[in-house]
Every structure is written in structure tokens, then in C-alpha cells.
Structure 1
């Protein structure tokens, strides 16, 4: 996941530097994969004014410029851009600057007899896009001499993190800010959302036909919207993290996916065959043409969103092309739903669809966030696109997510090896959103927040069906008691930095280490060395060959014939590795290399009815003429 530093600061009140933030993230278990800082790459580029642009005296396609970079000097620049003209304002680089789009470091040069002391830059040369039709053309009032990154607002580093499968809450900017605040790097800013006042009944209503497809869903329409390009700030925010802005309605849903870890989807009401939108399982033969332009054959194990005409979306994974919002949309319907993580993961894997929505739903999202997220998205759509909101349409019910977990303070020392004051352990949990339910001398019981579905969850304990009922029950109860406590220990430890956990060596089973190799492995290694010392090349061959060839070297019982061979002439398990080596020697001789010395440690196969069915054999074979030494004839 990627996010910008300024986006993080919208949720986190902090004075911490970029280095402090990234170091803390890695210390608390959120691995930082990379940092892209445009300001560092573009720091040497300055806004410049072209004082004069004339035709190059010795080249038809070049222009000779005199350029002002705001330092009181004039620079001679040779430029091939067709839009270079007198009076224009652009971006220039001086000698010593690295040009990311071309990979060169600029030097003073002479082009066709005219000195070039700087370079006017295109967007592609700065690594800011693919446009190289001409040099960047800035407004006339752009401050000459100022850094371009400051003027263009590019001094905003992009941080990329790797999120483990259990941390769905960390796939959001707000979730990252919450962790950093709990680690002492600032304060989490409040997020208050005012309720939306409805202006008309919802034109669409939800219906859950199968709870496997969805457990709870909310929706609200907004009519009178003007769906054009999203504002510059939103486009820049999405572009910075690698997303392509589409239109205002779609961009809002992408914004909420990354800002709050809450995937949304918008339908064009005019394209939906209403009034019902159904959450159900797909039917045999149904297909979906998705937003990525691909068509998917659905199975009866896929949960879908459907209208009267058929499937409109693969629930929680990807929307359909037919009902998507475009510039002609005047009324949209916002979907905010809760899906089963396992079913989402299986559907995404089955159809090989990887989306930002899938990556969050399959990890589990905050089940209590739906009403607040729907109100916040409605406010944002009305702010950007205008219009008025309908009543909320709902189906299903909020799941019973509330649960408690107990931590015995001694377990921090026993499991984590860290001697931490009890009050500090409670403080760390509270900072993460865990509320104290009961506090005793040796333990604390906390309420788990809804966004941490990985703590004290139901889990999955695979038990042997032959296990006696009393033992199975005891094991399940023990698992339910131990795992939540281990989750809390992990949270307490990581917030202090994983590097603060003392290193403890595992106890030695014996003062004398066990042999690294078994007796059989040692014999095989010795045999291989002896054969190699005799000048033989170690081979690895198939354990099967043609039945007629195998019969030349031993018995070929039917019990050792392959039912499904990889090739028709490899249908019998070999009686000895010598057979395979002989065939290899024959292939070498047929290709003009008759002098070989081959060896193999491999299997020889016997009829299981006669005892051991597989023997380990060391075999060697020489063919052709071999010299005793380099000085003697063959």
C-alpha cells in the first residue's frame, strides 16, 4: 500500500520527520518497502524565463535561447522543443543536475557551434509523465528562480508499506496514523461525520437472497450530480499512489478505500433494472463484464450483486461495466456492504482478479464503520458533484462483533521476555483503541475495537475427527483462551518497537550436537565421493524407462508398470540404475562422444511381493576408450 506524507498528516497530528515515521513503522511491525521523494529528484530544477528565442544559426530544428533563472545571470541554451519561444516560462536544469527521464547528468556542452549552459525540460525528462511534445509551459506569473517542486506541490514523499495478512486495518491511512499515534509519534485527529438529511425516498432497495453472499449492506442514492473530473487535489492524491483518476464519483470510492480502508461502489441508477438490488449467489452460466473490460464466467460459489436483468458486480471484488458511473450519470447509488472474507478470497483467486477492494475484504474490515462511511462518502459526493441525498436502503444486520480479551501481565515476560510495567502495558493497549473492561492486580480485560478483527477472533482449529470428544472440547477451549492473550502480548510488544524485545537463545537439547547426516546419508555421500574420485560424472536420471529396455537388465513385473507415464517410452520402473546409465552412454555415443564415465546414486525397483520395493544403489559405468593418465595412450 502507498500513501503520501501529507495524507498521513491529515489524520496524525505530529511533528515527526519522514525518517522518524518510517523508522517507527518498521519497528512496530509495518514494513516500509520504499520511499519515493520527488523533491529529492527534482530539487535542482528551477523555474526559468526565456528572455529570447531565435533560430539556431547552424540547425533548422534547434532554437538558441537566452534564459533567466533568477540569479542575475543569463544562460545560453540550445533547445529542440517546438514550443520554445520568447517570454515563455518553463523549468530549467543547470550542469550537475541528474535528469531522471533520460538517466543522464547534465554537463556544459556545445551544439552545432552554440554553447549550451543549461537545459529546458519536458515533463517526461523530469519523470512526471509521458509528454515530450515540448518543454513545460508554466503560467507567466510563475516565480522565476523558485524550485519547481515547491511551486508544483511535488515536495510530498510517497511511502510504500507491506501489510501482513492479519492487519486489514493497516490497509488505510487512518489505520497507519492510529498505530503511529499509539507508538508515541503524535495524536490521532478526530474524524467527525454529520448525519445526512434525506431529501427523497431511495429509488433502489437492497434484498439479501443468500446470507453467504452478504451479511449487511447499506445504500443511498444521490440525484442531480454532475460527474466530471475530480478536483486537482484528489487527482494528485490518487496519482501519487499509482491510481488513475477516472471521474469524481469513482475517485471518491477509491479515496475512501485508501483513506479509511472502506471499499465502496457506485451504480448509475439509470442503468440498474430496479427497484431491487439483490445479494445472492451466482447461477450456472452467468457472466460478468467487469470494469476492467474482462468477462468472467461465474460459479455457484461466487457472491454477486444483481438486478432484474442479471449480475451487475462480483460482490466485494469488482464492479460491472454496464452499471458503472460515467460523465452522463445524473443519479448514483452508493453501495456500502460487508462480505465474508474467505468467500471473497476464494472468488478473487478463482477468477484471478486482484483489486484494492478484494485485498481489504479478504483481510476483514471494520464491521461497525458502514453507517459512518456511507454518510461521509455522501457528503463528499455532494460537495464535489452537487445534488441531494435519498433515504438509506438497508438489508441484513450489523454482526455481533463485540468481544473481550484478557491479558495476564506475567505473560509479557514469559512469552515476550520483556519486563514491562503493568500500567505501561495497559496504556499501550488503550492507545490502540482497546477499552479496559476490568483491571485486577495480575491481569486486565479489554474490549477489542471493531477494526481489529485479527485479535480474539473465532480462529480455525483443525482437529482430528478421531479425537475423543472430551479432549477435543478441552483443546478448543484452551485455544480460545490462549490465542486472544497471545494477540494482546504481540500488540504490547510491537508498540515499544520489536527491536526492544531482548534476544533469547533457544535451550540446547544436548551439549553435543546431533549428527547432521544419518548413517544412510553418510554412506551415500561417501559412495558419491568415491565414484567422483574415479573420474566419473555424477548423473541424475529418470527412475523409469521403456519396458523392453528395462527387461534387458532385470525383471519387469506388471506391478511396476506406470499407468500414466510422462512419455509412452518411459512406462516401467527400472530394475537398476545401470540401465539408465547404459542408455545415457548410448545417447552420447550416437552424438559422437563415445568415451564416458558415468555414475549415479539412485533407486532400483523390485516387485513389492518379493520384499523391499525400492533399493538405494550406487552404480558406475565406463564406455569407450579411457586413458590411465594424461601421458599414456587411450
Structure 2
């Protein structure tokens, strides 16, 4: 390939390889070749050539051959093995040589039987299935077709008669077998990427020349099974497309010369020519590939540097608003003491089933491992598993987050961006002050609300729906965050014990999920900051305690108190919750403070009392509670 490119660029002339000239056989091969009907029907092995060579001497390779192999990091073994390695790496044509005296009858290309085993040349034994192609004789499998040969029929120093294999294999079949068996060989690497279809003929001749020149011997006629495909992939090339796609104007005659020198058969003339791809170029699939071939020889350095046109003199932002939002999300969560994790976008289907019903399209056709066989339907799964691994190593106090996609289908758009976090263990390290406490749902609720605020939405407007959390959260200890009845911003709460147990986590874990794309984008504002509205008057705080039903939410009290006088009341804070002795069953006492901030004049006692009365009336009306004496 390199020699052909150099010749096309005008650096020398491509020489014909004399080793590809046919060798006349002196006798009929005593070993025949057949391809099973199942293999032929699936086109798994389109063609198989073989040749018997008798009277060889498998001695040490000559110095020139050993030097070439050592130059690319290969260790010389013996002449017959070294020859197959040379042809594989030099010409991209894998071969295999059997010790003919170790074969039992003719060669048969067939599918393996389930459970059939073979000891390979890499000193490993492989158990095969009925989807794998094997090269076999009448007694057993000799090698895994197109991937690796068997140890039992390998060539040794005492080998005197050999049978040379040169075949074509289906790339997809080779890839599947190689992945199942985890075999990475030079033959597999080339066959699964596609070899020159005509190389089955000239590859046999090259191998024959090298074996007879180095090892001697007498050759038989070639035995053949199957037919060599001869696809004629023809593509039209509009000459002006070279300029349109590549940015370089190339004359038609120059383009035609380049393509011909690269092995294409070219017909027609400008403005449209037709090129037939050579058999060694299965990667040519369209007009753009022909443009690339021409440009590669002309030289990519000939492509002029052209600045992109701008609609204005102002630079275009490199990041979209959503991309900026992702970066802001990471900074906010990190500033709250959470450590960022970057986990796989796929997970274990056994875990994923705990997070809702799974669609068939989420399963991976070719997972990198058996425990990563499905796209993750929830971003918490891998973080929970990571928590279990940390606990097993003695790290029990954790605060983790991840910003990334989770998947709920196999169609475009069937994924969403989520910011998920979890906390486990205690909030602080052990201290003599005794201030250490375990994490709870309010810690992750604060994380979620802080993120909502940072993204430009007032967290006070977000409703907490205690009946809206999904089944992987603990019922009664979790909730959904919503803007209105339909827009769910996320969830927070304690994770369900069955989920934690399945993923190997001990103790309590609290978590949150925020769907970043569901949080409304802030309204566009001017570039100037709004004026600071600072008051020079003293603020006033007043405390209240109400007797309420246990079912009343603190959120209802806060909203009612703030709504009593939005001009003066700037903050409402819950500071005490009590139930027990002195409080009747089904009731609770909730205490809160309000902050009054005047802006025009210091408040009089009468004005303060009037606001306090409004607060009491508003809370009693909203909750049905009563002010405690």
C-alpha cells in the first residue's frame, strides 16, 4: 500500500512481484478440500485453496527473513512459520501451513459442534460452539478458521511434507468468533477488516515460491473449493466535487492518473468519470472516498487555510446555554462538598431492573463485559455500586455526584441529562465537640434546591410532592420536586433498603436526581446588574409556635407566612418541631421565625403587631392550626 501511494505521487515506479507468478504443480495433491453445505449457504468461507508440498526441510530461516521479522518485533521460529508471518505482514495475506503427515484424510471446512475443543498454537485450549468455523480433517478440528491453527498439526523441525492453506473468510463471522473466544491473532485482525479477494490466488503462489526457495520440496497442483467473489464496485466521481469537498481544484486528467495508479479502473471524462475499485480496497463505498484518494496523493498540505465566515465582528460563544448549565451544575455540586464521579453509561441489567421496567432496545448486542450489558436507565445505579465498593474498603462517609445521561429507549432523543448525587454515613468527621450526625433527606433536599437556585429558578416556587417519588426511594422518606402538576424537576429522599442490599451497600443512603433540562432557563436580562436595595433600617424578628395536625407540611406554613406581607417579610425559618408529652396524639408543635425588613422607616410596635396578626391569620387559614399560648 505504501509503495503504491509513493508511485502514485510520482516517487518511483511500482514493481510487479515476481513471487505472484503461478507455480506449475508436478502431481495431484493427495489431500482434497471440501466446504460443507452449511458453510456454503451462509457464505462463511467463499473459497478455500490448498497445495501439498513434499520433501521440504524446515530449517532455520535465512538471515534476510529473520532480519525483516525482527525489525517489526516478531521472533523468528522456523522457516515454514516465518514464511507465513512474512506474507501476513508484508502483503496482508494470512496463511497457514499444516504438517501433512499428521492429517487424517481430506480437509473439510465445517461448523464446530457445541462443546468441541481444540488445543491452539497459543498453548490454550478453546471450547467451540456451532457458530464457529473450523478447518478439520476426517477425524478432528485442526484449527479455528481464519483465526488460529491447532497445536497438534503444527510444523516442527522434523516436518517433511506440508499442506498450505489459503482461504477467504467472512469478516463478520471472524469478528464474532474472535470476540467470543477472546483470541487476538494477526490472521483475525486482517480477515475481520477484509482482505484482497484475489489474494487467495496470488497468496498461494507467493507462499509456494518462498517455501520452495528456502525449504525446497516438490509442489502439487492447487486444490480448490468454492468460488472467489468478484465484486465490481463502480462509483461516479464529479470532478468539481474534489474542490467542493476538499477545497483543492484538481484537473480531470490528474485525478484520472492518480486513481489509475492506485489500481482503479477509470472510464469516461470530465465532468464525470467512473472508477471501479480494486479488489484490495473494500473500504471504497462512495464518491467521497474517491475524492479522498485524489486529495491524499495531491497532498493535504495543498488544502488552503480558509477562515470561517462570521456574521458579525463579535465572537460566537463556544458553548451553548445548556453546555454552560452543565458546567455550572458541576461547580455548584462540588462547592457543596460532593465529589464528582464519572461512571459507565451502561450497567448490570440485574441492578437496572430495580429502577423500573426495561425496554428491549436498552440491552447491548456486544457488551464489553457480562455485568455491563445494558444502557443505564438511572444515573444513581453506578454511584450506589461505587458506594458499596468504598464501604468494603473502609470508606463509609461519602458524598458523590455525577452529571450525565440516562437512557429510557433506543430512539433518538430517548435520553435525558441528569444531575444525581448521594450521601452516606455522617456529615462530618468524628470530633471531641460531638457535633457529628448522620446524613438525612434534608441534606440532599438542600443540595437539589441549591442547584435549582443556581440554575435560575426560585426554589421557593418548587412544590414538594411526597407521593411522587419512584419505587427505588423509601416510601414516606422521599418526594418529587415539581413546578406545577406536570413538570417534574427531580426527586430526593432515602433510597429503598432492597435497592441498597442488591447493590451491596450497608446503612442508610440518601440521594437526589435533578433533570437539568426540565429546569426552566432564566429569563434574559440586561448586562447591567440590578441596583442593590439595601435598607438602612433595623430588621425585626418575631417567633411563632403553632399546634398543627401531623399531616401539615412545613412548606405550607412558610408559604402562608411569607404571603401575609410580601413587602415586609423577607424570610421565614423553621427552628423547632415537637410532638410527645403535652401534645395530643395526631398533633405536632411547629415553631418558626419571621424577619421583617422595613425600607422607608423604622417599624412601630403597632405596625409589627399588625403584621404578626396577618401572619397568624394566614397560617391558621392555610393549615387549620392554632397559635400556641
SS at match of 1:181: helix
Question: What residue number does 2:117 align with?
Answer: 287
- Which of 68, 86, 89 pairs up with 1:237? 68
1:403 Cα deviation from its structure 2 partner: 2.4
- Equivalents in 1 of 2:356, 2:208: separation in Å? 73
Consecutive unaligned residues of structure 2, counting only runs of 5 or more, are: 343-354, 358-376, 393-398, 402-418, 450-463, 472-479, 493-511, 515-629
- Which of 17, 36, 39 pairs up with 1:191? 17
- Which of 280, 285, 297 pairs up with 1:495? 297
- Which of 430, 443, 446 pairs up with 1:589? 430
Deviation by residue 1:471-504 (Cα, 9 ceiling, x = unmatched): xxxxxxxxxxxxx111100100111122222234
Distance verdict in 2 for CA 1:597–1:434, change over 3 Å: same
Q: What pairs up with 1:21-170 in 2 under 5 angstroms?
A: none
SS at match of 1:221: strand
- Equivalents in 2 of 1:204, 1:273: separation in Å? 9
- Equivalents in 2 of 1:258, 1:293: separation in Å? 22
Question: What residue number does 2:579 align with?
Answer: none
Distance verdict in 2 for CA 1:541–1:294, change over 3 Å: closer
Is residue 2:12 matched to residue 1:215? no
Distance verdict in 2 for CA 1:614–1:398, change over 3 Å: same
- Equivalents in 1 of 2:200, 2:420: separation in Å? 70
- Equivalents in 2 of 1:563, 1:618: separation in Å? 12
Deviation by residue 1:336-387 (Cα, 9 ceiling, x = unmatched): 0011112212222222222221121111111112222212211221111111
SS at match of 2:163: strand
- Which of 129, 135, 138 pairs up with 1:308? 138
SS at match of 1:589: coil
- Equivalents in 1 of 2:14, 2:183: separation in Å? 34
Question: What residue number does 1:443 align with?
Answer: 272
- Which of 155, 169, 187 pairs up with 1:325? 155
Is residue 2:78 matched to residue 1:262? no
1:438 Cα deviation from its structure 2 partner: 2.4
**Contact 1:348/1:354, CA 8 A, preserved across alignment:** yes
1:390 Cα deviation from its structure 2 partner: 1.0
Distance verdict in 2 for CA 1:525–1:272, change over 3 Å: same
Question: What residue number does 2:81 align with?
Answer: 250
Is residue 2:257 matched to residue 1:455? no
Q: For CA contacts below 8 A with separation 6 or more, give which structure has more relative contact order.
A: 1
Question: What residue number does 1:38 align with?
Answer: none
Is residue 2:244 matched to residue 1:414? yes
1:309 Cα deviation from its structure 2 partner: 1.9
- Equivalents in 1 of 2:242, 2:189: separation in Å? 32
Is residue 2:324 matched to residue 1:537? no
- Which of 469, 476, 498 pairs up with 1:607? 469
SS at match of 1:188: coil
- Equivalents in 2 of 1:359, 1:579: separation in Å? 42
1:445 Cα deviation from its structure 2 partner: 0.8
- Of residues 610-619 and 178-187 in structure 1, the stretch that sits farther from structure 2 once superposed is 610-619
Distance verdict in 2 for CA 1:376–1:515, change over 3 Å: closer
- Of residues 344-353 and 608-617 in structure 1, the stretch that sits farther from structure 2 once superposed is 608-617
1:273 Cα deviation from its structure 2 partner: 1.3
SS at match of 1:537: coil
Q: What is the TM-score when the length of structure 2 is the normalising length? A: 0.56
Distance verdict in 2 for CA 1:309–1:538, change over 3 Å: same
1:179 Cα deviation from its structure 2 partner: 1.4
- Equivalents in 1 of 2:96, 2:279: separation in Å? 22
1:246 Cα deviation from its structure 2 partner: 1.2
- Equivalents in 2 of 1:300, 1:241: separation in Å? 36
- Equivalents in 2 of 1:363, 1:285: separation in Å? 28
Q: Which has the larger radius of gyration?
A: 2
Q: What pairs up with 1:390-429 in 2 under 5 angstroms?
A: 390-429=220-259
Deviation by residue 1:261-299 (Cα, 9 ceiling, x = unmatched): 11110011111111x211122210011211110111112
Question: What residue number does 2:6 align with?
Answer: 180
SS at match of 2:151: coil
Question: What residue number does 1:109 align with?
Answer: none
**Contact 2:52/2:161, CA 8 A, preserved across alignment:** yes
Q: What is the TM-score when the length of structure 1 is the normalising length? A: 0.55
Distance verdict in 2 for CA 1:537–1:369, change over 3 Å: closer
1:388 Cα deviation from its structure 2 partner: 0.5
- Equivalents in 2 of 1:339, 1:218: separation in Å? 12
Question: What residue number does 2:319 align with?
Answer: 516
**Contact 1:528/1:538, CA 8 A, preserved across alignment:** no
Distance verdict in 2 for CA 1:521–1:249, change over 3 Å: closer
SS at match of 1:244: coil
- Equivalents in 2 of 1:526, 1:284: separation in Å? 53
Consecutive unaligned residues of structure 1, counting only runs of 5 or more, are: 1-174, 457-483, 543-556, 620-634
**Contact 1:256/1:377, CA 8 A, preserved across alignment:** yes
1:400 Cα deviation from its structure 2 partner: 2.2
Is residue 2:50 matched to residue 1:224? no
**Contact 1:367/1:401, CA 8 A, preserved across alignment:** no
1:517 Cα deviation from its structure 2 partner: 5.7
**Contact 1:607/1:613, CA 8 A, preserved across alignment:** no
Question: How many residue pairs end up in the alignment?
Answer: 395
1:184 Cα deviation from its structure 2 partner: 2.1
1:513 Cα deviation from its structure 2 partner: 3.5
Deviation by residue 1:394-439 (Cα, 9 ceiling, x = unmatched): 0000102222221100100111111112211111111111122222
**Contact 2:334/2:340, CA 8 A, preserved across alignment:** no
SS at match of 2:219: strand
